[in-house]
């Protein structure tokens, strides 16, 4: 599957409509981004069950800021609307493949339950009790 260009108009809908999304935050002037581009494209052809999207941080500064992107390239993996991975730095094909396989293998019901438990614990005790 070819990569899609993500922007603030289509980002949320893309996440909503797809089980797993891999996002490359990049910029045209960034050497490491240009080096990682072919690795990202090759992975998109290999993992046709996953949506691969690119966010040009020069054009989509608001979107990049919303995710706290401070360095590029930054790779983000979302599954079932949960950010599973977000790290700056160009990856090798093997590293990217490993991250994708681990993300696909996760039991998302367990992840969702753990997130709910963590959110509940962060709220603290109910002051009414």
Whole-number Å distance between alpha carbons of 82 and 84: 6
DSSP β-bridge partners for residue 86? 76
Active site amino acids: 30, 33
Q: In what order do the strands lie in the sheet with 4-5?
A: 4-5, 51-56, 20-26, 74-79, 82-88
């Amino acid at each position: 599957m070819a990569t899609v260009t993500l922007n603030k108009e289509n980002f949320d809908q893309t996440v909503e409509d797809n089980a797993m999304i891999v996002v490359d935050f990049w910029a045209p002037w960034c050497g490491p981004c240009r080096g990682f581009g072919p690795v990202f494209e090759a992975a998109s052809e290999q993992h046709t069950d996953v949506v691969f999207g690119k966010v040009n941080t020069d054009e989509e500064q608001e979107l990049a800021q919303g995710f706290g992107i401070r360095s590029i390239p930054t790779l983000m993996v979302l599954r079932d609307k949960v950010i599973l991975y977000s790290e700056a730095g160009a990856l090798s094909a093997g590293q990217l493949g490993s991250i994708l396989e681990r993300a696909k293998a996760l039991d998302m019901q367990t992840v969702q339950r753990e997130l709910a438990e963590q959110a509940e614990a962060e709220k603290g005790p109910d002051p009414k009790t």
